[in-house]
Amino acid sequence: MAGFCGFPSDTKLVSFASRTRKSGGQQTLAISDPAASKCDKKLHAVKEAGAGFRSIAEPMVDTTSQFAEVIIAVLGVAASYERYRINERTTADRAQAKARGAKFGRRAALTPHQQAEALQRLAAGDTQRTVAALLGVNQATISRLQRNAVE
């Protein structure tokens, strides 16, 4: 991991491992990385560079000890579990928002009235390109509207 520490024997000390992101503009480590394998790879790179990683608040987070491999594995599992919990909370919050009536995604390019008008014009024989130009949208919007109306 180029630029992690000044010398191979250096040890990166942090106050809280879960808050470590950048130090001096250099990427160091992210214990709460979404992908546990990223955390694992970063810690292995630190160890292979001859450097160490220690957390002041969490003394068990110390890759300079003889249990470094175990610590790296545990941190990987912790990062994976944290990502699972984040997904779980996000899913629950999204369900609550939907129950409150929140709308997700892009807004429709056409109002329901414009959609009905477009479908009427298409049924009357106007081309998709003409209808799109009249309503100020792309032809693909009218094509999609027509395709979804048939289904």
| SS3 per residue for 55-124 | ECCCCCCECCCCCHHHHHHHHHHHHHHHHHHHHHHHHHHHHHHHHCCCCCCCCCCCCHHHHHHHHHHHHC
Give the H or E element holding residue 52: strand 52-55
Structural domain spans, the chain? 11-99, 112-145
Give tens-digit pLDDT for 112-131.
999 999 999 999 999 999 99
Total-model pTM: 0.45
Q: Quick one: which of 31, 24, 32, 18 has its CA closest to 4?
A: 24
Which segments of the chain have a pLDDT < 50? 1-6, 19-36
What's the pLDDT at 34?
44
Q: What is the pLDDT of residue 95?
A: 96
